[in-house]
Structure 1
Amino acid sequence: MEPITRGTAIRLTQYARGGGCACKIPPGELEQMLAGIPQLSEQLVVGAEHGDDAAVVAIDASTGVVATTDFFTPVVDDPYTWGRIAAANALSDVYAMGGRPVVAVNLLCWPRETLPLEWAAEVLRGGTDTARAAGCPVGGGHSVDDAEPKYGMAVTGMVALDRLLRNDRGRPGLPLSLTKPLGIGVLNTRHKATGEVFPQAIAAMTELNDRASAAAVSSGARCATDVTGFGLLGHLYKLVRASGVSAVLHADAVDYLDGARQAAKEGYVSGGTRRNLEWVQPHVDFGGLSDIERLLLADAQTSGGLLVAGEVPGAQVIGELVPAGAASITVR
C-alpha cells in the first residue's frame, strides 16, 4: 500500500487481513501443527499439554513464575487504543492463571515505509499506560520492520501455587461463570468494515481482568481460562476436554454487548469465528439453536473475560460442568 501522508484519517484496520484475536491460526490447525513437537513438560507445573493460557514453572514449593506472550494485528483504527487493548489482552493470560504480572516487554512489527512512526509511538504509549495501570513495568522489547502492523507483549508474572487457576481442574457440579459479555468480535468486524466506533466494545477490551481473577481465586476457584480468539465455545471445549468432563451451557444466560446480535445478523462475522464454529461443532449438541446464536457463541473475542469453573461474585453464571457424556458441550 502507498505511504500515509500527514492529515490522512487513521484506518489502521485496513492494513491487516484480520484483526485482534480473530487473526489467530485456527485451533484445529494449531493443534495439528503442535502434535509432533515434544513438550518438556516435566520441568513445568503447567506446560503446553492442554493449551492453557500461560506456562508456569515452580521456583520453590509455594511460588510459580508465569510466562506468556500475545500479539496481534490492529483491532481498532486508533493506534493508542489498539495499544491499550493489546496490552490488556497480553496481561490477561497471567490473570487467567490466578497470577500477578510483574514485568512486560513490547513486541512490535511495523511497516516503517508505509505508516508513520508517530503512530507506532502511540501504540507503545497505549500499551505502557495499560501496563502501568496493572502495576506492571514495561522494560523495553523488540521491533521488526514488517509489511503488516502487529503489537503485543511478553509478560512475566508470579503466582501462589496453591491458588493457581488452570484449565484442567474442572469438576462435575461446578457452575460456569463468565466475567465479560460476548460480542466483541462481531463489533470489531463491523468497525473494520465501516469505520463505526463502538465504545462498549472498547470499554470491554481495555478492562483488565485483574479484579475478576482476584475474585475467582478468593471464591475458591481453581479452574479458569480467558475467552479470546477461539470464542466461548472453543475455550470451553478446551477446558472440559482437559478436565475430563462435559458442560451444559445455558444460551439465554449469556450476556452480549449492545449491537452484537444486530451486527451478526447483518453478516459482520469474521473468518476466525466461522473456523471456531467449524472446529467445535462435532463436540457440541446445539439442539434447536439458530445459526446466528451458534456464531455468537463461537465469536472470536479480543481481550475477553474469564471463564471460571466456580461462582464468581459479580459474574454471570452461564452453565455448569457435568460428568463426561456423549457431547462435550450441550447448549440449552
Structure 2
Amino acid sequence: MDIEGYAKRGILRNDKGLKEKLADRILDIKNISRKHALEIAGAVIVEANATLNPEGELLSPTTSGVTMGEFGVGSRGLGDFYTHEKIAEVIGRTSAVVDSSHLDDSGVVRAGGQYVVVTIDGMHSRLSDFPFLAGFHVARAALRDIYVMGARPVAMLSDIHVADDGDVAKIFDHIAGITTVSELTGIPLITGSTLRIGGDMVIGERMTGGVGAVGIARSLTARIQAMPGDVIIMTEGAGGGTISTTALYYGKHSIVDETINLKFIDACEALLEAGLIEKIHAMTDVTNGGVRGDAKEIARTAGVKLIFEEEKLRALVNRKVLEMLDKLEIDYLGVSLDALLIIAPPEHASEILSCIWKNGVAAD
C-alpha cells in the first residue's frame, strides 16, 4: 500500500480524519502500537504536504489524466503497444543499430567490431508471492530476448525491490531462481541492485524487479529484417510467468511444472552451434501479447504480412497448458507461450527444422 499516495489524496479532499484513517491502514499491515502508527501517519502527512505543490519547472510532472490500468499498460493490448511506440518517440532516433523505435526484443550497438545486445525484462507482477518462480522466469525471459537477436548471452544483472514488510528471504529465493537459470546455461549473474519499494512509504509484502542481460553477436536477426516470401517456423512452448500465474490463481498448480524448462534456449544454442543464425532473417519470442501481438509488431516494423496455419500453431502448445487455456476460455494466440518464432528464406527451412528437432525440441 502506498501510504504517501493515500495521504496526498486525503489532503486534496480535505479529509479531517486523515491521520486516524491512515493510522488504521498502517495497523492493517504492521504489528505496531497505535501510538507508533499515529506518529508514522503524522510524519507521512507532513511530507506529503511538503511535496503536494512543488515549485520549479523540473519538479512539475507531466500528467495525462489517464491511469496505467485504464490505458492497459503492461497488459499487452493496443494500449500497451501504443505506449511502446510513444516511448520510442520520446527517446527519438539514436545512433544505435537497433533502438526502441524498432519495437524489437533488445537494443543493439556496435562496439569493437561486434554487436553488443542489451535487454531488460520485468518479473511478472503476480508472482510476488513466488519469488523463486519469478526469478526463474524473468531470467529466462531476458536470455530469450538476447538469443532472438542472433546473439549469445554473456552476462546477466538483476534488480529487486521488496516492500517494507516483505520477508528478507524473498531476496534470496528470487536470486536462487535467477541463478538456477544461470547455472544451467553457464551465463553468469554478475551484478545487481536490491532496494525497498518506495522506502518507508510502501507497506506490505509486494515484490517487484527485473533481470537484464548482455550478449554479443556477429550478425543480427532483428524483426525489421523479415522479408516477403520468407517462411515462419515456431518451436513448441509451454509458457512462462503468465502461464504460471494463470495456473496458480486458478488452482491448477501442477501446470506450473510444465513451464520449468529451457527448450527455447536449447533451440537457440543449437542454431548458434550449427552456424545457422546467418541463414535466418528474423527471430522473436512468443511472449506477452502472444502470436497475435508479435505478428502485429513485426508486420508494422518490417512492412510485411504474416500468414499462419493455426492447426500447426495449436499443435505446438503444451497439451496440458492448452487444455487449461481452453477450459478457462483464454485465447492461446494472445498469451505468452515461451516459443521461438523464426522467419527465414524457404530454402533454409528444412535445415533449420532438422537442427531444432535433433536437440529434442518440437517445431513446425
> Match of 2:96?
44
Higher relative contact order, chain-length normalized (CA < 8 Å, sep 6+):
1
Aligned to 2:258: 201
CA deviation string 1:204-233 (max 9, x = no partner): xx4163332244453311311111112111
Give how far 1:195 is off. 5.8
* Amino acid across the alignment from 2:321: A
> What CA distance in whole angstroms lies between the structure 2 residues aligned with 1:235 and 1:201?
23
- Superposed displacement of residue 199, structure 1: 4.3
Give 2:193's aligned amino acid.
H
> In structure 2, how many angstroms separate the alpha carbons of the residues matched to 1:125 and 1:183?
20
> Is 1:117–2:172 an aligned residue pair?
no
Question: Which segment drifts farther, 118-127 or 259-268?
Answer: 259-268
Query: 2:251 corresponds to which letter in structure 1?
Result: T
Is 2:363 aligned against 1:316? Answer: yes
Q: Which moved more, 1:178-187 or 1:235-244?
A: 178-187
Closer, same or farther: CA 53–39 of 1 in aligned 2, 3 Å = same
Q: Which amino acid aligns with 1:247?
A: L
Mapped to 2, the partners of 1:234 and 1:117 lie a distance apart of 37
Does the 8 Å CA contact 2:225/2:302 hold for their aligned counterparts? yes
Aligned counterparts of 2:122 and 2:265: Cα–Cα separation in 1: 19
1:119 corresponds to which letter in structure 2?
Answer: K
Map Cα deviations across residues 45-83 of structure 1 (whole Å, 9 max, x no partner): 11112211111111134x111111111224485432321
Q: Which residue of 2 aligns with 1:105?
A: 157
Pick from 159, 163, 169 the counterpart of residue 225 of structure 2. Answer: 169
Deviations 1:294-331 (A, max 9, x none): x2111244xx12211033322523xxxxxxxxxxxxxx
| Structure whose CA Rg is larger | 2
2:136 corresponds in structure 1 to 84
Q: Distance in 1 between matches of 2:30 and 2:320?
A: 32
Question: What is the match of residue 189 of structure 2?
Answer: 138
Partner of 1:192: 249
Cα distance in 1, alignment partners of residues 192 and 215 from structure 2: 16
**Paired residue total:** 269
The 8 Å contact of residues 71 and 107 in structure 1, kept in 2 or not, is answered as no
One-letter identity of the residue aligned with 1:102: V
Query: What is the alpha-carbon distance in structure 1 between the residues aligned to residue 183 and residue 298 of structure 2?
Result: 31
Q: TM-score, normalised by structure 2?
A: 0.66
Percentage of identical aligned residues: 20
Separation in 2, partners of 1:202, 1:77: 17
> CA–CA distance in 2 between the matches of 1:77 and 1:194?
15
Q: Please list every run of 5 or more consecutive structure 1 residues that lacks an aligned counterpart in the other structure.
A: 6-16, 270-294, 318-332
Q: Deviations over 1:77-101 (max 9, x none)?
A: 5432321111111111111111111
1:150 pairs with one of 204, 208, 211: 208
Distance 2:325 2:256 in 1: 18
Distance 1:241 1:28 in 2: 11
1:115-148 C-alpha deviation (Å, 9 max, x unpaired): 3111221111120221232222222211231253
**Structure 1 counterpart SS, 2:342:** strand
Is residue 266 from structure 1 mapped to residue 321 from structure 2 by the alignment? Answer: no
Residue by residue, what CA displacement relative to the aligned partner does 1:229-258 show, whole Å, maximum 9, x if unpaired? 121111122122222211111110012222
**CA separation of 1:223 and 1:124: change in aligned 2, threshold 3 A:** same
| Residue segments in structure 2 that go unaligned for 5+ positions in a row | 2-27, 32-68
Match of residue 222 from structure 1: 281
Q: Which AA in structure 1 matches 2:335?
A: D
Equivalent of 1:235 in 294, 307, 313:
294
Structure 2 CA distance for partners of 1:258 and 1:247, relative to 1, 3 Å: same
One-letter amino acid of the counterpart of residue 316, structure 1? A
* Alignment partner of 1:213 is 2:264: no
TM-score of the superposed pair, with normalisation by structure 1:
0.71
User: Paired residue for 2:61?
Assistant: none
For the 8 Å contact 2:136–2:180, the answer to whether it is kept is yes
Higher share in strand: 1
2:290/2:336 contact within 8 Å kept? yes
